[in-house]
Copies of this chain bind each other. A is one copy, B any other.
């Protein structure tokens, strides 16, 4: 009576994905026993590596470096073809020659976060102590851990002060953490569509995603690589649930409404009758090609734990006391994952700390994902903020 399709198996790029975890198609900074990464959980991670990409050139003053911080499922491939998927970089709307983050002018760096799966040490990497994939033996990491690793990379690159730190969502959390942890090292900061802590609703959505992964028998208690399985069904479901939160109701309505997929009448089955179902299934199945399930657990956990105020005696403004950074805080009207109210909380704390801060709420129906999309008002705003900061920093065009 009823035809049924569930999330499908193939996973075309699983071998490339595994290769990238240890041997990324990227620049790599190795940190040996003399440079352990001190993690919030108490573990010293050593050795470890950070995979990163750069665009543009560092100027003689070493004063034009912008660090981009990627979001939960992003990576270092901001503005080049992705080595696993073959798709364009995730922020090519914003980053490139002549673009808002102008690689003719700035030296742009983006590193895969520690805990990620595209070449920085994480659960998908090989544990040198055992010769096996880390899996759940990898220590739980936090947003401050990610930023601590980035600071070690920036040291390695010989950069004392970043001209800018820019990122959205989990990337925005890293931006805020940078300014709190290294107030002297950030000239300007662009935290976009983020918050200083994860809300109960957001923790709840992450927990659904983690349970979806862990409920997949092919997850094998996290040892799926050793056992030759892949929890792609669970991870696909996790991605589908998360993806809904990245869009707005209005955007889904505008894109899909109740339109049927390649037909006019319902099939009275569990086929993807509606376009929105087909779209979500695609989001799930394409995601699992490029992402490691354990890494998804670790990075969602890091976001859940993030709470800058808690690290400063419960007083958010303490985190930004006497900061010298110029801030531009950005939110989007239809973002219900990190609503504008949470950006306002950041702005209030910055004001209380006496910071130089501007705040823009961009009118759009495109939801949380707006920061990744071609939203002209947003892109113009990033350009203007960086140009103004560049003038203050003494950067001239072409350098």
* Chain A residues within CB distance 8 Å of chain B: 1-2, 4, 6-7, 40-43, 136-140, 197-201, 203-205, 207-208, 210-212, 214-217, 221-222, 233-234, 236-237, 240-241, 244, 247, 249, 252-253, 255-258, 266, 268-270, 272-274, 276-277, 280-281, 284, 297, 301, 304-305, 307, 336
Contact = CB atoms under 8 A, between A and B. Distances in A.
A268 B204 contact: no
Residue of A1, A2, A214, A336 with highest tally of chain B CB at under 10 A: A2
Contacts of A274: 200, 203, 207, 304
Given A7-B215, A199-B249, A215-B216, A244 B205 contact: yes
A237 B208 contact: yes
A354 to B, nearest CB: 27
Contact of A215 (B6, B208, B301, B304): B6
Contacts of A258: 197-200, 203, 307
B207 A240 contact: yes
A249 B301 contact: no
A180 B43 CA distance: 65
B7 A280 contact: no
Nearest to A217: B217
Given A204-B252, A336-B336, 6 more contacts: A200-B258, A203-B274, A207-B276, A211-B281, A249-B336, A273-B304
19 contacts: A1-B43, A4-B221, A4-B222, A139-B268, A199-B252, A199-B253, A200-B252, A200-B256, A200-B274, A200-B276, A201-B244, A204-B252, A207-B274, A210-B270, A211-B237, A211-B240, A211-B280, A212-B237, A215-B237
Chain A residues touching B, majority SS: helix
Contacts of A140: 1-2, 268-270
Q: Which 6 A-B pairs have the closest CB atoms?
A: A6-B214, A215-B233, A41-B268, A140-B268, A200-B252, A201-B249
Contacts of A252: 199-201, 204
A234 B40 CA distance: 33
A205 B247 CA distance: 12
Contacts of A305: 266
A41 B267 CA distance: 8
Contact of A241 (B241, B257, B304, B336): B241
B1 A276 contact: no
A95 to B, nearest CB: 30
A179 B136 CA distance: 56
A204 B7 contact: no
A214 B4 contact: yes
B214 A212 contact: no
